Amino acid sequence: MNLTTRLNKRSFLLLATGALVVIASITIFALTRGPKKVPHHPEKAVVHDNGLRIEFKPTSPGLEIVKSSIIGNGGEFVNLEAPARLIASTSPSVSSGSRIVLFESSELNDLYVGYIHAKNKVHRSRKNLNRIQDMFKHRVATEKDLVESETDVGNDAAELAEFEGKLRAVGLNPSELANAGNKKAWIICDVPESQINSLKRGKKVKVKFSSFPDEDWGGTAEAIGDNVDPYTRTAKVRIEIINKDYKLKPGMFGVVKFPEETAGDTVVLPFNSIVTVEGKNYVFVEEEPLNFVRREVTLGVSTKDLVNVIAGLTQGEKVVVQGSILLKGLSFGF
């Protein structure tokens, strides 16, 4: 056998051996991989009882954004703070020495002046009516005179009511303005509708003004507004304060801090846990793993971050604190 023949045989043996090694490797790899895994398709959450209960599956879309937490560790409360401005104050007149009322704007001043004029007109027209009635009784005045006098009283009373209503709408009581003593000032703050039930007339509050950041001022919650703003859903609370040395000026901004006891013994939640539908407030409670129940709650004092729940929850329950919007959509079909 010549040299060329021997080389060809050797090359063939090397190729055959390599092929066997590749086949063996493929076989071992196939055996070690095991059976091919079948992918799990996502399962939608199931809504029960017209949205009262939502059942998630482990593969349900969106489940990863829903987080719940056990609530009520005790000793928690929310301080209600409301932005405020000084809207009016009494001050001695520089010309006559008598007491006058200063307002934060010329529009409020015009309203108050209009109220005073309307009040004087009502007083004058009523005196005139009494005089006409006496004259009519003695047959000196005619029935036409009596009717006209009665009409004047009605018109003047309506005008007075209009001015009073406008003043009360901004939080001021015109009769208290007229009778207030020296160094009195009135602060108006806007309190959310849900907080009104936590406030009472006569409640002592603390006020801090931007102009005097290191100084606390004591005040009294004098009255809660008669109406709720339909757009902001807030009511006006009027705070009376003693204007020491006349340092406070109408138009100044500050913050009113209501006392902690307004929070009561309640459960505190992150504000984004609450969902609101048609004026009612709800949370979602994880009663069992992956099972969430919609619960109506009553809110107390709140801030932009936290809220007191005064009814509907008890300490120790597991409440959704993240992803409530997803559950709201599933529960109400949004």
pLDDT digits 0-9 by tens, 13-31: 444 455 544 454 555 544 5
Total residues belonging to the chain: 334
Model confidence pLDDT, tens digit, residues 234-248: 888 899 999 988 899
From-to residues of CATH 2.40.420.20 in the chain: 46-78+264-332
Classify 46-78+264-332 by CATH class. mainly beta
Query: Which amino acid belongs to residue 282?
Result: Y
Per-residue buried b or exposed e for 261-291, using 16+ beta carbons within 10 Å of the residue's own CB: ebbeebbbbbeebbbeeeeebbbbbbeeeee
Q: Using DSSP bridges, classify how beta strands 253-257 and 81-92 pair: parallel, antiparallel or unpaired.
A: antiparallel
Cβ 60 vs Cβ 255: under 8 Å = no
Q: What is the pTM of this model?
A: 0.57
- What fold is seen in the domain 177-261? Elongation Factor Tu (Ef-tu); domain 3 (2.40.30)
Model confidence pLDDT, tens digit, residues 255-311: 998 865 544 456 888 888 999 998 899 999 999 999 999 999 988 777 778 887 878
Count of CB atoms situated within 10 Å of the CB of 2: 6
Matching residue, tokens 């009135």 = 186
Considering only residues 323 and 7, tell me which one the structure prediction assigns the higher pLDDT. Answer: 323
Q: Sort 30 into a burial class: Cβ within 10 Å, 0-12 / 13-18 / 19+.
A: exposed
Per-residue buried b or exposed e for 8-26, using 16+ beta carbons within 10 Å of the residue's own CB: eeeeeeeeeeeeeeeeeee
From-to residues of CATH 2.40.30.170 in the chain: 177-261
Looking at the chain, which runs of residues are DSSP E strands? 46-48, 53-55, 67-70, 81-92, 99-103, 184-192, 204-209, 212-228, 234-242, 253-257, 267-270, 275-277, 280-288, 291-302, 306-311, 318-322
Residue 138: is its pLDDT beyond 80?
Answer: yes
3 state SS of 137 = helix
Mean pLDDT of 304-324: 85
At 79 the pLDDT is 67
